[in-house]
Structure 1
């Protein structure tokens, strides 16, 4: 028996097997869920290949969360494999590393900033809204953030986008609560994912965790974060919504 037995879960934004999305899909399957994953464009072929590395090869859906046509057809695509959704994982973010990250905050051009906010924050609402017809009371939406309560070295406009994501999750929790749908985020410490590699100065962020996390921090292990996501997808948090669960070795609670 797993904590997700019988659950139908969409993990949106799975690219590499080093990603949090991939780890979440794996843990969810191990806990009894039927999992679907998604990606789009050139990355879709990569996703289809790495899907074979999961315990059960899941359906791979084409989904660009900035494309209204993709969002409109999502219920139909999901319906080809399952008759509804119990959980949705938003594992999606993007900011142009050449213009928005690595000490470029003061010169961040609006077209790139708006793209980062749309992909990384607004899409939590648009993805959730697209999935609403498939979800019933008891459903759970879980997104991934990187603590946006402070300014980090190198993170710049992605930090702003994550702050928007965190606010978006609270408003979604407010509006979807009456429908019995929970919306929460998991704030992970720095992990060596494809997204992290694109951040100039990531090593500076990473180095802080080794010294200050009371539980220590393994930046190559996505499993603790994936387990937290799956716990929030389960029925073990029936009265929790609008929350940010930190999976960072305790770093966020330390003053120095």
Structure 2
């Protein structure tokens, strides 16, 4: 279990193991082939490590690490209208960071830690170094015109980090300002990490091929991408239309089609 946690937490300061970080870890565990009881053992170990850090006075307090009750998990994502409503309620620095997340699908730590050395606006590209990625593989990040426009607003704000507040790098996003903006926007049960879910869901609905989405999101396991597969139905529509076309032409003996038995029969 420690071998599993090590590459995912290596390089983080212990105070950076926050709610968003834990949510990402839980998501990866839940979507793996591990049983719920096994997932809970991993989470118990993580809880023990954080509690030890408090005992040793490395931390003042630790985020809660809750047990999972069921492997089934619904993807939480926003409609475009909901997302725009949220952005208008956030303070400028969080609004730009959230909008950039929706454009790129980057994880919270990659957005808060983004430096100007990782950005090439002339080529409309950014990159996440291997030691900054959860999968320990470098991630190329193509930038949309909207993402580039957001970055240009911050060019002269800091010599190293892209997104700052009052001259200092932004580290925490789950702040009072974030929670108040969610309330004002009428959005419930939504975490910063769900911006990444929203980005992936929009891509799936727009028909982005699964292997392309996997590469864009920096996932090493295709099973993570399958979490959004049900949102893409474009490849199914022609088959539905074809059936109706056949029925209209009278090619199927509709009157003789037997009733399909229910599984319980």
| TM-score range normalised by the length of the shorter chain | under 0.3
The answer to which structure has the higher strand fraction is 1
Q: TM-score, normalised by structure 2?
A: 0.26
Higher helix share: 2
